[in-house]
Every structure is written in structure tokens, then in C-alpha cells.
Amino acid sequence: MGALVRALDWSKTAVGPVEGWPSTLKATVRTLLECRLPMYLAWGREFTQFYNDAYRPILGSKKHPQAMGGRAPDTWPEIWPTIGPMWDEVWQGRSFGSDHFRLTIERNGYPEDCYFNFSYSPVRDDSGAVAGVLVTCAETTAQVMSERHLKEERDKLNNILRDLNDGLLIVDLDGNLVEMNAVALRMHGYSSWEEAQREVVNREAHFEARTAEGRVLPLSEWPVMRVLRGERFSDVELLVRLRERNTSWIGAYSGTPIYDAEGHLRLGVLSVRDVTERHQLLENEKSARREVEKSEAKFRSIFNLVAVGIARSDPRSGRFLEVNRRLEEITGYSSEELLRLTYSDITHPEDWQRDQDAFLAFLGGRTATLRSQKRYVRKDGRVVWVNLEAVAGSCDPAGRPLEAIGIMQDITEEKQALQAVEESERRFRVLANSMPQIVWMARPDGTFDYFNERWFEYTGSSTEAPLGAESCEGVLHPDDCAKVREAWRLSIRTGTPLYTESRLRRGSDGAYHWFLTRATPVHGDDGAVVRWFGTSTDIDQQKRAEELLAHSGELFRRVTETIPQAVWRTHLDGSADYFSQRFYEIVGYSSEDFLGWGWSELLHPDDKHRVLQEWQRCREAFIPISYEFRLLGSDGGYRWFLTQGNPHRNERGEVDKYYGTWTQIDDQKHAQAELLELTEELQASVHARDEFLSLASHELKTPLTTLKLQAQLLQRGVERNDLRLMGKERLGQLAEQSNRQIARLERLIDDMLDISRIRTGRLTLRPEEADFVGLVREVIERMQPQFSAARLPAPEFSASAAIVGLFDWLRMEQVITNLLTNAIRYGGGQPIAVRVAEAGARVRIEVMDRGVGISPEDHERIFERFERVENPAEVSGLGLGLFITRQIVRAHGGDVRVESQLGHGSTFIVELPRTAVIAGEGVHVV
């Protein structure tokens, strides 16, 4: 672009011939052309354009070279409505900028959406008035498109990882995590990706891994280390113990090394499946098999010792296959005799036909258990009652029993006792018919087999009608049938007494009366229910009185269940006797848990004393209450509540109760805390911004003021024709001073541009093979004028032979320059030493001064943005140099640190690999 500028006839443009240009325009154009970053200048109200080589690609194929010296509105008509108003703001002395700003331009003959990071700054003429707009920019279209594509690809990958049932880990050659899906995080005891990254350097403290034989694996044999050695393996089962949680699980690890196109190992991929449950199932199966064997042995040992008869038989033929001694005693036959018989041979003739249906259902596999009370005919001819229960010992594929195991219990005595009970029941009926209540009885299965005369009188039922399980169905009110039926079935199933209220239809007029029904089971000697005895008492008048009383209570209940607050009531001593159902919905406890003083046990420890003290004070003074507190929920978390209540006075005017509500205010409390935190963060951000703007404006203004004074001095010499001011020596001094101030401005602008690149992830590195020692020596020689200006000798430089490595020459030159500049500023005028040494595969650079030193607590802070160590000399600078230095060094795969104590000077140490790990196209700063 320099050649184009020199060749252009500027007299035909709005800025006129070059010799008539203001010095500011010349200096700005010179800086623009020398800058390697895209820069553009629009001078004057005609917006005459200048730009450099780096800006040239932005103009495309249709706007260059005619844009040079042309008017901005003519070159950019398609975007002038957008940028024109911005430049008007700049013309008022205000800067303007944006990142990834979208503009639709026609630089190649067609519209295209492009994205730019740009900064518009005013350029002032020699009088200080705004004379032009300086644009520093960088096109980010490729970056924006790449980031969009990268996000889409990462979203796809995350979706795949999220849907995996196995854990997946990806590690780089240093063992650092590249990816770890949610399943792997959960398996390895991490709550987040960030926690997993922090623990990666301390794996042995977090995990213990053992083989199936119980051997503890050293770190070198862990799956992650094996795959990073290039090993490929699958389903390596390890017992993993999470030390902090003291929990263990069994994982099956598979490893796959990933190589690049040149065959170099780049990544390791591990998949892991939790096989704990499978191992547990196998162990359970082994345990179950052992239990079966033990049970079989136990069965054999007790088979002949139990007090019930046991027989193994063929259900198809009915023949006994094995019997115990107790069955011999029950039947009077020896085991040899029984093995020649079938169970039909010893069954009472009257019972065989009754057993047929149940036996056929069992034989066909339709029922799993055969139960029956039946009679056997002993060898001596006596009849015995047995309770038979048979199950299938084994079945065919269709589920039909191939072998039956039968248990026979002699219940002859129980049957005789039952006959005695039946005689007692006969006498009972005589008594029951003389009672005013309805009296009834039922069999163990709930079938009604007796009602006294009061039942027939009330219901109008015929005494000739058969009784059964459905005897009450036509008498019960339709709304009560389901409730009574369920309660009755529950009592029959559990053997517990029945207590229920229901309405029965009166036969004479069809009216329904309320009855209280009670039923009690009668147990035999073995504890089994043999009968049910019940009564039904007319309570119709009592129920009508209760309904009147319940109306007011129902109204209160509906109100308490409708409002969003929980309602409570306490005695005057402070103990609670009522909580509404809303409590359960709010805190997850049933209201019964709060009765008495139970509610106070859930108060937060920090609130309990205050709440109970305030509660006592209000009760003693008979005054309303209102205070806030935290309450423990069933989920283990505390929630904020506001309680409000008032004393209740009885008909005598005496306070006897307190009524009140609890309102959940947890959301309001959290909102207040979040608002306070946000306010503090905003205040800190505004303060940091103001400090930086103040510092930057001061640092930029200082060299500009010096340049302005020098320009005024030159102008005065020209106007007065003062040879002392226009002499060669004096002009040389002024030129040298101007160059120093311009260099200072360039450093400040470069630092701010580097900060912009780092913040947006665009700090580009261009690595090349070069000599580290030569680089440092060249920087020292170039900075000799600065050492001389600071009255310092050249630094004491020590180094070994040439150390060749891969690095970005200009960026590392910037690092050394920053460190030496710091040593000059803070070295207290004392000599500086520089040492370069080779440390294995790394190079180590040390810059030492003997200045004021840095306190240990500031060692990390000085590497942050806009941070400077306090110095009585008030050293200038934006506080960006060390921050930029660290980012450049880390981009090369190295690091920089400081060793220093107050009053003992400082040593800045840079260590980086000779074959640098370059960070791609950008550096992202968290």
C-alpha cells in the first residue's frame, strides 16, 4: 500500500498534495502503513480514505484500488446508513467499537454477510480538533462461521454422549480430560465436569483400583495410563473404590488409542460399563444355590421330626412316593404300606367327590396350591380329620405338576371342638333374639349364616330366604355398599375386628337409618378364625345431631384447605393441636408430626431460641404474633416462613387458643439475596471500568501532550525564524523525543490490541525454528538506548550455546521486552541480570533485578489485567504487560512466575518446551 500511496496524485483529492498535509495526518498514515493489523483512516469531512495492506482483503475484488484516496460514502454506499451515524459520534470526540458486528457488504460484486471486530477513534489535527476517523478492525467472519459449525458439531457429540449407557472418557497425552460424559462422571463420583478436571492431577487420592484377585493396581497399570501407552484392551474388570465416599463399584474398562494420520498417538478413549449389578446377581445366584443345598439338607434332617405329616406323591397316579413318620402315625399305616397305596385309598368316600374339582384344577396347573379339610380312614377304621395343603414340587413346561408335596395336619380335636362350638351357638341364638340390636353371625369366609329376628323385622326380609355373602346388598344404601364391602373384606382377610357406620333400608317405609356395625372374630385353639359375631345398632338420631355439629367444622376445613397458607391452632401453653393439610404440601411432613411441640424440633438452630422466646412473650401478653424463621423440610433443606397469629377468646372473654397461618417466603428471601449479590457485582464492575478508563486516558494523554508541546515549539521556531530552535542538533533532539513518545504510544496501543485479541480468542502465534539465545541477545542489544536512558549498564547476560526451539519470534521478543522493561522500571536503578539455560526438553529464561521486590501475596495478582505493584516512584503503565506475557508463554505450552521478597529484588522465570505446544488460532482467557 505504501507504493500506491506514493504513486497516487493526492492533489486531485480532498486532502491535497502530500507536502501540504498536517503533521498529524502524515504520522497517522505512516503508522497505519507500518502496522501489520488492518487499519483504515477517513480524513476530513469528505472522509478521504487511507488503508494498509492488512486492510486490503476487506475491500474484496471490486473496491480496491479505487478506494485509496476516495470518499468513504462512495466506497461503502451499502453500509453508509449504518456506519455514517457512528462516525458522526466519533466526530464529536467519542470512540466507538463492537465485536462480531454484522455488515452486509458488496466487495466482490454480490451482497455477503460479514462480521468484524472494530474500534472507531477520533484523530485530531495539530490544533487538537477532530480531523478524521481511525478504524482498527479485524474480520471475524470465518471465526463466527467456524464457531457456529463447532457448536453444532459439539451439540451433536454431546447428544451422542448423553444417550450412551456406558461411561466415556477421552484423555490427551498428558492425562488431562478432553471429554467425560455424564455417565462416567456419575460412576467416578464427580458432580460436575469442573470437579473432574480439578481432580485429574490427584487420581490416587480420589480412587483405589483393585483386580478381581484383590491386588491394588499402581497408577501405571490403571486403564487411563495403559491406553496412553498405546495399549488396546477390552472388558478389563476392576473394583473401583471412591475414597472420599467410601463406596465401591465394579467397572469393565475398554481402551482404544487414537492416532493421527502420521501414526502419532494423540488421544486415549476409555469406555466403562458398571457391571456391579451383574456381579451381584452372580453372587446372589451362588448364594441361592448354597441356600438350596442347605435347605435340602435341612429338609432331609427335619423331614421325619416335624409334627405334621409330609408326603411326596405322583399327582397323576395318586401314588405315594415318600412319607414321613408323622403321616404313618396319622393313618396307622407303615411307610411300606403307604407306598403301595394312593391317597384315594385312604380318603373318606364322602370327601372324595368334594375334592375332585380342586384336585383337577391343581392337576391341570390352574392353581398353584391345593388346600382342603378332609377325612382319612385309618388302618384301624377310625376317621381322622386333616388339614391338607399341597404344592407342586416340579412342573412340566405347561405348568402342570409332575410331583406334589403334601402337608397333612391332624385337626380331629379341632373339629370336635368346633362341634361343641356349634352347640354353644344354638344356645346363643335364643339369647340373640331377645336383644334390641340386630345380631348376626358369619363363617370365616364372610358368608352370613345367621341373623336374629330383629333383622327380619327391620328389613322385612323373609325368614325363608337363603342367607349368604350377599344378604345385605339389597338393604345397604347404594352410597355405602362399596365402603362396607371393602371394610368387611379387609376384616376377613386380616382377621381384625370390623367397625363401620352405614345406612340400612327399613322394609316398612323404605326409609334409611344409620347403624353402627361391630364384628369380632372368634378364634379356634390354633388361632384361626372359626366364626364372626356381629351387631348392628340404630344410631340414626345420634348421626343427625353429629351432622349439625359437623357443618361448622366442615366450613372451617374447606377454608383452611383453600387458602395458600398453612393454618395452625395451639393451646395457650403453646403446644399445637391442629395443622391443616397444606403443611404436608409445603414441607412434606404429615400434620400429625407437628402436634404438641413437634413443630419446634424442625426450626433452624439459629432461629429456634429467638422464635420460642418471641412465641412465649406474645402468649404471656395475649398479643398477636408475626415473625420469620426457617423450617426443615422432609427433603433435608430449610425453607423460610412468615408466621402470623392472633389470640382467640371464648364466650367468657378468656384467651384459650391461638389461631394463625404459616406463609412460605423462601422465594422472596432468595430473590433478596440474589439482588444484593448482583448489586455488589455491578458496583465492582463499574469501579473496575472507571479505574481502567482513568488510567488509560492518563497513559495515552501523556505522550500526546509531549508531542503537542514539541510541535508547538517547532511552530514557534518557524514563525520567529529562530535558528536556535531550528538548528540541526535541536531538531535531532526533538525528533528523538518524538520518536520515543510515538514508540510509547505504539506500545500502549499494541498492549490494548493484544488484550482485545486475548479476550476474543484471536491471539495468533506463528511458530518457527529459531535460537532462544540469539533472540534474548538481540532484544538486549535493541533495548540498549533504554538502558542508557535509565543510566543502567547493559544487563549481565549468561547463556549456554545456541538453544534451538519452535516458537513465535515476535511474540517471544515481546515477552523478553516486557520483562526487561519491568526490570528497568522497578529495579531501583540497580544492574539487571539475564540468564538462558537448557533444562532437558525445555528452555528456562530468568530476568533478575535488585529493586524493591514484590510481596508473596502479590505474586499472582501482578499477572492479572490492569494490575501494578505500588511503587513510590509512581511508575507509568496500564498494568497489561505481565498479563500479556503470561498469555503468550502459556500459548507456547509454558508458564511464567516470579520469585521475590520485599526489599530483595525480583526474578521472573519463563519456562517453555523447545518444541512448543501451540494453542491453534487463539488463546481463550477464562
User: What is the spatial distance between Cα 768 and Cα 681, in angstroms, rounded to a whole number?
Assistant: 43
Instruction: Supply the pLDDT for residue 543.
Output: 72
Least confident stretch, 19-23, 85-89, 142-146, 705-709: 705-709
Q: Which CATH number fits domain 2-141: 2.40.50.220, 3.30.450.20, 3.40.50.2300, 3.40.50.970?
A: 3.30.450.20
Instruction: Supply the pLDDT for residue 921.
Output: 43
When pLDDT is averaged across residues 588-595 and rounded to a whole number, the result is 74
Q: Which three cell numbers stand for residue 81?
A: 446508513
User: What is the spatial distance between Cα 339 and Cα 691, in angstroms, rounded to a whole number?
Assistant: 106
Domain with CATH 3.30.450.20 in the chain: 2-141, 164-280, 303-410, 415-545, 563-664
User: What is the spatial distance between Cα 232 and Cα 191, in angstroms, rounded to a whole number?
Assistant: 29
**Would you call 80 helix, strand, or coil by DSSP?**
helix
- Strand bridging mode 233-242 / 247-259: antiparallel
Percent of the chain with pLDDT over 70: 83
* Residue with grid cell 404438641, as numbered in its chain: 596
The sign of the dihedral angle between the CA atoms of 742, 744, 747, 748 is negative
Q: Is the separation of the CB atoms in 127 and 120 below 8 Å?
A: no
Helix (H) / strand (E) element for 876: namely: none
User: What is the spatial distance between Cα 392 and Cα 20, in angstroms, rounded to a whole number?
Assistant: 117
* AA identity, residue 474: G
**Would you call 345 helix, strand, or coil by DSSP?**
helix
Instruction: Supply the pLDDT for residue 701.
Output: 55
Instruction: Supply the pLDDT for residue 810.
Output: 84
Residue 280 has pLDDT above 70, yes or no: yes
In tens, the pLDDT along 65-110 reads 999 999 999 999 999 999 999 999 999 999 989 999 999 999 999 9
Q: Which three cell numbers stand for residue 593?
A: 408430626
Cα separations in angstroms, 542 against 162, 312, 546, 562, 815: 65, 60, 6, 30, 98
Cα separations in angstroms, 295 against 288, 289, 298, 299: 10, 10, 5, 6
Q: Is the separation of the CB atoms in 892 and 918 below 8 Å?
A: yes
Residue 51 has pLDDT above 90, yes or no: yes
List the alpha helices (DSSP H) in 632-783: 666-720, 723-726, 728-759, 772-782
The sign of the dihedral angle between the CA atoms of 11, 16, 22, 28 is negative
In tens, the pLDDT along 537-550 reads 888 876 775 565 45
Residue 723 has pLDDT above 70, yes or no: no
Q: What average pLDDT does the chain have?
A: 83
Instruction: Supply the pLDDT for residue 255.
Output: 92
Least confident stretch, 288-292, 658-662, 845-849, 858-862: 288-292
Instruction: Supply the pLDDT for residue 57.
Output: 94
Q: Which of residues 25 and 750 earns the better pLDDT score?
A: 25
Q: Which three cell numbers stand for residue 372?
A: 382342603
Cα separations in angstroms, 126 against 19, 90, 392, 748: 15, 18, 111, 21
Residue 76 burial (CB < 10 Å; 0-12/13-18/19+)? buried
Q: Which CATH number fits domain 563-664: 3.30.450.20, 3.40.50.300, 3.90.280.10, 1.10.3720.10?
A: 3.30.450.20
Q: Which three cell numbers stand for residue 461?
A: 326380609
Instruction: Supply the pLDDT for residue 873.
Output: 40
When pLDDT is averaged across residues 34-58 and rounded to a whole number, the result is 93
In tens, the pLDDT along 360-395 reads 888 888 888 888 888 999 999 999 999 999 888 888
CATH annotation of 415-545: 3.30.450.20
513: which residues sit within 8 A by CB, 6+ positions away?
503, 504, 506, 538, 540
Phi, psi (deg, nearest 5) at residue 850: -120, 35
Task: Classify the phi-psi angles of 370: left when phi > 0, otherwise alpha if psi is within -120 to 50, otherwise beta.
Answer: beta
When pLDDT is averaged across residues 493-521 and rounded to a whole number, the result is 91
Indicate the fold that domain 303-410 takes in CATH. Beta-Lactamase (3.30.450)
In tens, the pLDDT along 312-346 reads 889 888 899 999 888 999 999 998 999 999 988 99
Q: Which CATH number fits domain 762-913: 3.30.565.10, 1.10.3720.10, 3.40.50.300, 1.10.3470.10?
A: 3.30.565.10
Domain with CATH 3.30.565.10 in the chain: 762-913
Instruction: Supply the pLDDT for residue 276.
Output: 85
Instruction: Supply the pLDDT for residue 923.
Output: 47
CATH annotation of 164-280: 3.30.450.20
Residue 875 has pLDDT above 50, yes or no: no
When pLDDT is averaged across residues 185-200 and rounded to a whole number, the result is 79
Instruction: Supply the pLDDT for residue 163.
Output: 61
pLDDT-derived band at 592 (thresholds 50, 70, 90) equals confident
Residue 49 has pLDDT above 60, yes or no: yes
pLDDT-derived band at 910 (thresholds 50, 70, 90) equals very high
Helix (H) / strand (E) element for 442: namely: strand 438-442
Instruction: Supply the pLDDT for residue 550.
Output: 52
Which value, to the nearest 10 degrees, does the dihedral of the CA atoms of residues 316, 318, 320, 321 take? -10
User: What is the spatial distance between Cα 313 and Cα 343, in angstroms, rounded to a whole number?
Assistant: 9
Instruction: Supply the pLDDT for residue 380.
Output: 93
pLDDT-derived band at 922 (thresholds 50, 70, 90) equals very low
Q: Which three cell numbers stand for residue 75?
A: 466506497
Residue 924 has pLDDT above 50, yes or no: no
Residue 702 has pLDDT above 60, yes or no: no
